[in-house]
Structure 1
């Protein structure tokens, strides 16, 4: 298999990203226009690594399937993975961990969209020469991911690198001086 034949698996922890956006950034439930444009996330993965992308969007659907959202995801190219389980189970985390483990035996690259440090062991096992990345809000991703940079893990900020939002979010972040624009502050 050549590099051109490789595929990127984009695994989206929808609950984690939504909770971080709502609780930590907006401090309220996000309105529809404040949520990521998921087609941009797929396109970013495809363009960044120059290969086909399989987008898997994991979501908890304990009682009802959010059909409109599932149909929207499907229409832009994601494969929704609606899950159910016991209330005490972190069903999305379990499914993503199992998927990361299953990808170990495939010649594929992986982008994980999550802040969750629970995936460190499984993602670390994939840092074996293949391309691996984490898409998240830089200031909220698990600090443990830094240890995987030496093994090749790449970071992509959901807002600034991926440009997944239509408007700037009210974030406080460390700004690289080459990106500093005083007009954002005056």
Structure 2
């Protein structure tokens, strides 16, 4: 486990299943490798644009592993990501999401450090509303929060964090993490960049 104090409290957490699921909704099909973000570009943007110097944590549900997934895991490690495979805790019941549980636990540790006077820099790559309350608390204690995803797919709770000082970044527009344009349509039927 990386000590958050030794890493100046910086942390970047990527909700792998959430990003893949939302990308599938945008594409209206299961994404293939060529559709997915160029994760090495994402890592470089986390460093260059957001100043995150610690290895980002890519969190996945370990129950969906296969040979193709293992190749992806090797790529993530070679691209300097920390891979966190999480498995459901059957004692918690079927409604427990192991990825959300892990990310919430990491955010809770960062929140404790913020309460103690540290000024954490937190990046969450996800669209999930479940992280909004703890991110709001981190902002309340002068932490810096950035949320990365597809703007039109972010939950209202995450969008609302802008009023508390959170920064929002788009994977396609701001990070340019895709090899080809995604079929993203906005109100009025046209792309808005």
Structure 2-normalised TM-score? Answer: 0.82
Of residues 162-171 and 66-75 in structure 1, the stretch that sits farther from structure 2 once superposed is 66-75
Q: Is the 8 A contact 1:7 1:51 kept in 2?
A: no
Of the three residues 68, 87, 103, the one matched with 2:110 is 103
Q: Is the 8 A contact 2:127 2:158 kept in 1?
A: no
**1:146-168 Cα deviation digits (max 9, x unpaired):** 32212210000011001110110
Of the three residues 139, 156, 166, the one matched with 1:153 is 166
2:112 aligns to what SS in structure 1?
coil
2:162 aligns to what SS in structure 1?
helix
Partner of 1:81: 84
Partner of 2:51: 50
Provide the C-alpha distance between the structure 1 equivalents of 2:52 and 2:64, rounded to a whole number of angstroms.
36
Which runs of 5 or more residues in structure 2 are unaligned?
Answer: 1-6
Provide the C-alpha distance between the structure 2 equivalents of 1:174 and 1:9, rounded to a whole number of angstroms.
34
Partner of 1:36: 37
Provide the C-alpha distance between the structure 2 equivalents of 1:169 and 1:44, rounded to a whole number of angstroms.
19
Which runs of 5 or more residues in structure 1 are unaligned?
Answer: 181-186
What stretches of structure 1 move > 6 A for 4+ residues in a row?
Answer: none
Q: What is the Cα-based RMSD across aligned positions, in Å? A: 2.0
* Superposed displacement of residue 121, structure 1: 1.0
TM alignment of 1:1-186, pairs within 5 A: 6=8, 8-22=10-24, 24-62=25-63, 64=65, 66-85=69-88, 86=90, 87-106=94-113, 107=118, 108-127=120-139, 128-173=141-186
Residues 171 and 29 of structure 1: CA distance in aligned 2, closer, same or farther (over 3 Å): same
* Superposed displacement of residue 63, structure 1: 6.1
**1:36-85 Cα deviation digits (max 9, x unpaired):** 01111111111113341330000001264632111111000100000111
Q: Is the 8 A contact 2:58 2:81 kept in 1?
A: yes
In terms of fraction of residues, the more strand-rich structure is: 1
1:81 aligns to what SS in structure 2?
strand
Structure 1-normalised TM-score? Answer: 0.85
Of residues 118-127 and 80-89 in structure 1, the stretch that sits farther from structure 2 once superposed is 80-89
Q: Is the 8 A contact 1:135 1:155 kept in 2?
A: yes
